[in-house]
Amino acid sequence: MMEFGFATIGSIAVICFVFAQLLKLIPKVKDTDGLLPGIVFVIGAALGVVGNQTGLVGLAELDIMSAIATGIASAAAASGVFSWYKNIKDGFQL
């Protein structure tokens, strides 16, 4: 039997992306700068913990902190860290 742990980690990114798109439909969330990535990071961290505790391939072998970090990294990929960084950088330019 073949195990694809990377598919589990990729699925966290997809789930976080879907959550981000759904959150963009809420006007109060959409209008606040920087709130969306933070929410998606929390969702990714929670999915990392759930995956670790339920024994998902790719996350079950990790300690809890690594599972949280993996979930956050997947969420970062989904939410577009570069665009978040760009917005912060533009905010500090005078």
Q: Residue 1: what pLDDT?
A: 41
Q: Which residues contact 30 (CB under 8 A, 6 or more apart)?
A: 23, 24, 36
Domain boundaries, the chain: 8-24+33-81
> Is residue 84's pLDDT more than 80?
no
Residue 21 pLDDT grade (very low, low, confident, very high; cuts 50, 70, 90): confident
Of 48, 45, 32, 42, the closest CA to residue 84 belongs to 32
* Interatomic CA distance for residues 49 and 10, integer angstroms: 15
**What is the three-class DSSP state of 62?**
coil
pTM for this predicted structure: 0.74
pLDDT single digits (tens) 44-80: 999 999 988 888 777 888 889 998 998 998 888 887 7
pLDDT single digits (tens) 73-83: 888 888 776 56
